[in-house]
Amino acid sequence: MPTAESTEERVSVPPERYRQVLGHLATGVTVITAYGRQQPLGMTVNSVTSLSLNPALILFCPAKSSSTWPRIRATGCCRINVMAGHHASIARQFSVTDPDRFQGALWTRQPAGPALDDAVAWIECTLRDEHDGGDHSIVVAEVVSLDAAPASTPLVFFRGRYGTFSSCPA
């Protein structure tokens, strides 16, 4: 087995190449929300992964350069809104620099963070640990409550573009 050190010496993957190849891994899309001191907070995140069933833990990876993440972290909790097929423009809005990302977004007040209308699923969590992950952090959160709308279609991100899911013929 090569050590991490020797691998680091040999392998130098240009970030753009890495982003382009990993963009072939289709993912769902979430908007993570919380209540900031002055305004609601939200950021588009596709690094959400289920981590542990018992206890129920979930993880996601905010960039260390994110200006929104430290403000969400400060609240100690958040809501993970899993976006629906018709949410591409909302997901875009929550990924760009804008003083009011919630402009035009329909949401209701829920304990851990704003609930975006028509989400395919939602998970409310309390933040538990944050680990180093290079230029990102690995955040582990405890699931407090959750639910899903089984009849809905999710938003999918693939090769830098939004799309929707359709199942294969049986």
Contact 77, 35 (CB under 8 A): no
Structure tokens at 153: 């279609």
Is there binding between residue 61 and ligand FMN (CB under 6 A)? yes
Task: State the amino acid at position 3 in one-letter form.
Answer: T
Task: Tell whether residue 157 is a contact of ligand FMN (CB under 6 A).
Answer: yes
Residue 154 interacts with ligand FMN (CB under 6 A)?
A: no
Q: Which two tokens stand for residue 155?
A: 């938003």
Q: Minimum Å distance from CB 98 to ligand FMN?
A: 9
137 is a site residue for ligand FMN (CB under 6 A): no
44 binds ligand FMN (CB under 6 A): yes
Q: Phi and psi dihedrals of 90, rounded to 5?
A: -65, -45
Q: Which of 139, 116, 163, 158 is nearest to 26 (CA)?
A: 158
Among 66, 75, 110, 153, contact with ligand FMN (rule: CB under 6 A): 66
Residues within the interface to ligand FMN (CB under 6 A): 29, 43-47, 61-63, 66-69, 95, 157
